Structure 1
């Protein structure tokens, strides 16, 4: 008997956990900071409804009706001569998941390293803190392996007792940490200007077309669409699940956490300015990796005795966000090995994680030539191209027993949604692909 989620809440927390990753905590605030502040936030909220939720619904719909891993589900719904294309795209999803997990575990290991580094400082373990904060091959290999083992341990326990149970624990913890950090950062001098920049839109910025393209790209990536994670989660839903409502719930929780991340990071940047920390690179605010590993640690260092506690809480928050994503994405190759190669869950988990480990360790050993290339290949090419293909499958290739086509009959709004998925969303996704890739 195929595994399934035990509760609706468990699915929502697990699916939102898959979507809530490092991109929400550092990617979204960076986009906000450098694309008009409140104006970007306003556009982003609109784009979530126009593009991201329909694309999320399509990926979950494919998994729910395919009732299998991406290879089998996409082949099943890509009817006729398109079946080999669907199977190939599904296999690319499995490969893409392994590649994504290879670099994601490295970055997740860095998050855990920094969290432990602040603990070492609190106990005045200077040599340990120096080892943790100063990058080395031994450190990166060790903590990448540690995070891989943690991911594998959760996935090994299955859907209900592993992914669902731990999502119910990790997601509330993440939200509590996020809210606590917002309250503290909001009390610092300069933070109020950050709140104003974030929450009060400059409507003149809405004339900039780059805001719309950036918002579409961020909305799509924020919901973790395009590598089969949401598809495999959809396949574990019981028959008759209300996918429309579930898609809205997952998107709402993911967007809410991204919004909270903005409430933390943007005021933190302005608090940093007040404390004399350099937060700009030219005319733009520093973002993503440099923001996390350079700017914010300077801010924490400027806080005095409370700084190590804030730093620890922040990097534990990022570690949890990373783990909720890795356990979801790891299920893609694991499910493929279980269903296509007839392996037990234990053997499939070990095989998948060992494969990812080889890729991850290769990236650590040959960081300069490989890391950036793999990140670009997955995030700028595979994700948007897979998203376009999901829309084409639901809108065009899936003809017999097409769920959306069946339920749309006699309903103006569902018919409009079907046309939106067939025509508008693929065009918008193509624009996202062109903008991110070229």
Structure 2
């Protein structure tokens, strides 16, 4: 099994795919808002601190484990400690759950790409999105009918995912990323060049980067910085361990981790410049303060930006098409990496053929996608995404550093990566893995739970949070434990 393991065509192919995985929708619609609302320019201090004390150390840890043990996340973790194999299956299940709602967002982007040609959203973009397009119902339990354009979009996305992943690592994922990632960067640069020349762009950029030093000492700002770094680098999702398992024997792991982190960073800054230049234009043209037009996530992409493109006349059509293409490309590079993180563990454990595993994952993913194409789709996305990010991913990351930092030994990974890398990482890495990262993740987890207890997330009823939030976390853990009890069909792990 190990001898026949696929490999990347080149180290560059691996790095491009890893950056493609890291660069996702969160870079475009989450980072600019997080930076703005947490001290602007001053946010960069906790942000870079988080990159060096959690982002890069965890990347090195995941790259090192995947490469050393030549296996997907469950296999690599089982080789460290057989009793902990379930910890490799939990992020695998989380990755699949993320995939199911990611395909819905990308379906929206496909539809909005079409709408942007004629500005079909009209003058009231909020009503168009919530009422006319996604037909949002009044409750997370009221699904209403299937919305055909969204379902068709979901089918298109799953078909693209299937074609790319079916062809494997070198022939599918590497090739696709080599086209999509450069295209994504070029599109974003074009958007930046055009948007910084808009009237009011300077006001937007000043708002984004003006430092509010008083916020640097607030704990919530540091939590936001660590959260952003954690989520935007695809950590604790099973992706990076799986990707690095396809690397040749001699590969510079340490350098690759730094390159991935900084490239992801660079794209976040590029996105922030584009987003806030356009928001500055919007504020100026409407004669309102910028804080009245600033938004994040789904609202920014599908309500605020279409309104801006309408204001821009012909230029709005061009920028609209480019922006939704950008979302689409960023989303596809991430969703492909998630499919690989889900399929590789089953191929490793049960010896199933890649084409069958990928076909089954895409089929099940599409069938679940039918639920998201109903009027309750946005509610499902909102609740599930909150719980997976705040509890699923954070706990997996915490358990990873406990396993390597305390139960096994950080030197297992550090010695391995140092032997094959141009520059060696020192004891600072052990300190981050043993003390800094676990402390921060425990703090984040406690804060999330306390906030949840005080005010249930999003003002939803407890029944909805139990049905779509806590139950998803419980389901992930139980399924992970069940799969980990099955025997390995391959000779990868000594039973």
Same fold per TM (> 0.5)? Answer: yes
8 Å CA contact 2:346–2:352 kept in 1: the answer is yes
Aligned residue for 1:402, secondary structure, equals helix
Q: 1:117 aligns with which of 112, 115, 118?
A: 115
- Counterpart in the other structure of 2:445: 433
Find the aligned partners of 2:16 and 2:154 in 1 and give their Cα distance. Answer: 25
Q: 1:49 aligns with which of 46, 49, 52?
A: 52
**C-alpha displacement at 1:381, in angstroms?**
1.0
Find the aligned partners of 2:257 and 2:417 in 1 and give their Cα distance. Answer: 17
Aligned residue for 1:187, secondary structure, equals coil
Aligned residue for 1:64, secondary structure, equals helix
Structure 1 ranges of 4+ moved more than 4 A: 130-133, 277-282, 405-409
1:175 aligned to 2:175?
A: no
**C-alpha displacement at 1:197, in angstroms?**
2.7
8 Å CA contact 2:158–2:366 kept in 1: the answer is yes
- Counterpart in the other structure of 2:230: 220
8 Å CA contact 1:405–1:418 kept in 2: the answer is no
- Counterpart in the other structure of 1:138: 148
8 Å CA contact 2:405–2:430 kept in 1: the answer is yes
**C-alpha displacement at 1:291, in angstroms?**
1.2
Gap regions ≥5 residues in structure 1: 123-129
Find the aligned partners of 1:119 and 1:434 in 2 and give their Cα distance. Answer: 46
- 1:179-217 Cα offsets, whole Å, 9 max, x none, are 111111111111112222333423233233321111111
**C-alpha displacement at 1:9, in angstroms?**
1.2
Tell me the TM-score normalized by structure 1: 0.90
Describe how 1:30-45 pairs up with structure 2 within 5 A. 30-45=33-48
Find the aligned partners of 1:41 and 1:323 in 2 and give their Cα distance. Answer: 28
8 Å CA contact 1:41–1:198 kept in 2: the answer is no
Q: 1:197 aligns with which of 192, 197, 207?
A: 207
- Counterpart in the other structure of 2:252: 242
Q: 1:424 aligns with which of 430, 436, 440?
A: 436
Find the aligned partners of 2:251 and 2:323 in 1 and give their Cα distance. Answer: 36
Find the aligned partners of 2:87 and 2:76 in 1 and give their Cα distance. Answer: 10
Find the aligned partners of 1:391 and 1:383 in 2 and give their Cα distance. Answer: 13
1:351 aligned to 2:360?
A: yes
Tell me the TM-score normalized by structure 2: 0.80
Find the aligned partners of 1:386 and 1:172 in 2 and give their Cα distance. Answer: 31
- 1:303-357 Cα offsets, whole Å, 9 max, x none, are 0121111111001001000000000010012112222222211111101111222
Gap regions ≥5 residues in structure 2: 121-127, 136-146, 452-495
Find the aligned partners of 2:236 and 2:287 in 1 and give their Cα distance. Answer: 37
- Counterpart in the other structure of 2:266: 256
Q: 1:106 aligns with which of 94, 98, 104?
A: 104
Aligned residue for 1:285, secondary structure, equals coil
Aligned residue for 2:262, secondary structure, equals helix
**C-alpha displacement at 1:105, in angstroms?**
0.6
Tell which deviates more after alignment, 228-237 or 336-345.
Answer: 336-345
